[in-house]
Amino acid sequence: MGLGNPGAKFKATRHNVGAQVVETLAKRHAVLLRGPRGIPAICGEARVELKGGTRRLALALPQTFMNDSGIAVAALVSRYGLEDLHRLVIVHDELDLPAGEVRVKLAGGLAGHNGLKSIKAHLHDDGFVRVRVGIGKPPAPSQGINHVLSRPSKAESALLEIAVGTAADAVEAVLEAGPEAAMNRFNARS
């Protein structure tokens, strides 16, 4: 699941890097994302060849606003019959990481991210995997909303473009070897 806000107005904002990662994965694996009836999301599936064999990969973009991401995520978890939340990967922007850094996290705190709060509220659990894409902190805490909803500078855009590819690699690593192996691989990077 790649978190973001729907619509062209938000497409290139910092808050939508999670959606950009899922779009990148969809291109890599030739997945057509479209809306299933009754679920506020677009999604698609692929069979991915990995070292351990073929794996099924479902990709989704909630079509709710970020703060209501849990509505779409809960509906998709139910649709796919996902019982083990360690198999649910949420890709999202992260203010607590410098722009361009990527980290993998299993469960734990939500760092004030309203999209993650909504998901936890709807799933009644925070045991899902997160691929966190750093967007850096705003100059002042009071500028947080403006920071996430604005477009990055040219220099930040270059960093985030690389990070989107790295985050897509991290999702594939979770699929191939599990969250712990992905954390060991991606969290050790500088």
107 in the Ramachandran plot: left (φ > 0), alpha (ψ -120 to 50) or beta? left
Helix 17-28 vs helix 154-177: crossing angle, to nearest 10? 60
Structural tokens at position 143: 């500028």
Does the annotation mark 124 as catalytic? Answer: no
Comparing C-alpha atoms, which of 122, 82, 84, 126 is closest to residue 106? 126
d(CA 44, CA 49) in angstroms, rounded, equals 17
Residue 167: φ, ψ to 5°: -65, -35
Options 15, 92, 113, 147, the catalytic residue: 15
Catalytic center residues: 15
